[in-house]
Amino acid sequence: MSHQPVIDAAEFAAAGAKQQGVLPLSGFPRLRDVLASDAGEIAYEIEGTRDARGRPGLRIRVRGTVPLRCQRCLELMGYDVSTDELLVLAASQAEIDAEPADVDAPDRVVAAAGMRVRDLVEDELILAVPFAPRHADCTRRKAAGEGTKNLPFAQLRGLMRNRH
C-alpha cells in the first residue's frame, strides 16, 4: 500500500506549513464509480493559513485531468480539474453548527490530529467533477436507422380503413 500522508490540521495551519505531492487516481475509492478509468495522477498542494477573520484554515489546490464518460455520446473524455479552496478549521461540529449559514463563506471542517491528505484531496475532486459530464461540443451520434420514424401501428391504420 502506498504512503498516506497525514497532518495535524490545527498545528499545520498554525505553522503555515506547506505540503505538495501527487496521488494516483486509483487511491480514491469514493471517486471510482464516476471515473471511466482509474489511470492517472492528481497533483495537490495544501497550505496552512488564516482566513479574513483570523481563524486557522487549510488552502487546498488540486490539479489534474480525470477520465470521465460523456453522458451524451458515452465516449471517454478528459476533464481538467483545477481547484483552489479554503477550508476554515473548527474545534468541534457544535462550533460549525452555531455559525449562521452563509453560501459565500468558506467551508468549515473539524480540525483533527490525523487528517488524511488523500481524503481532503478526494473531497475536492468529488466536488469538482460534474454530475453529468459532457463534451462541450458533443453531438449525439445517430444510431443506425435512427433518422427514420418508427410507427409500430401504421399497418393497423390501413386495416381499419379497409373494414368500412
For residue 11, the model assigns a pLDDT of 93
Residue 119 pLDDT: 94
How many beta carbons lie within 10 A of that of residue 89, not counting itself? 24
DSSP 106: P
Q: Can you list the residues of the chain whose pLDDT is less than 50?
A: 1-2, 142-145
* CA trace torsion 47, 20, 39, 36 (10° rounding): 10
Collapsing DSSP to helix, strand or coil, 12 comes out as helix
Closest CA to 56 of 10, 19, 102: 10
Q: What was the pLDDT predicted at 67? A: 95
Paired residues of 68 in beta bridges: 77
Residue 142 is predicted with a pLDDT of: 44
pTM above 0.85, yes or no: no
Per domain, the residue ranges of the chain are 6-163
| Residue 158 confidence (pLDDT) | 66
